[in-house]
Structure 1
């Protein structure tokens, strides 16, 4: 009776390690607080710089619009215009 013996050498330690290197911590991303303006960094790639500038401008415009709407809604609430649009318009016409 004969025994088969493997002719492959023992695997090296580096072969047992996973292919991917250990994951580094993700880059820390600053989270904007409510109402804070978005400022983008330029990466010296004209097309990317332009696109990110457009995104930042759109975001900042939306933040400004939201602040205005919030202010207007709170002003209407203070003036007592919560019941109907018609009453609200009449109240605004009377006060202005």
Structure 2
């Protein structure tokens, strides 16, 4: 597991307490993936209801609050595959 994924798991664990209703996967290009579900956040590449894919810079910007997830999606910097409703719930938590 890359240091970027480890740091992302730690940061998201602070933001998302209690998990989410469903399974979301964040894929950080060239770094790895993490899973967010009802149990919390962990590194992994499991099947998910929604998969969000971004490069490291965009993902770190979303985590820090410098990049709005909806704006990143509209600009093509964040790809979403699957349950758009779950992605929007997750975006609201991260904003």
Give the TM-score, by structure 1 length. 0.22
Larger strand proportion, structure 1 or 2? 2
Q: Greater relative contact order: 1 or 2 (C-alpha under 8 angstroms, separation 6 or more)?
A: 2
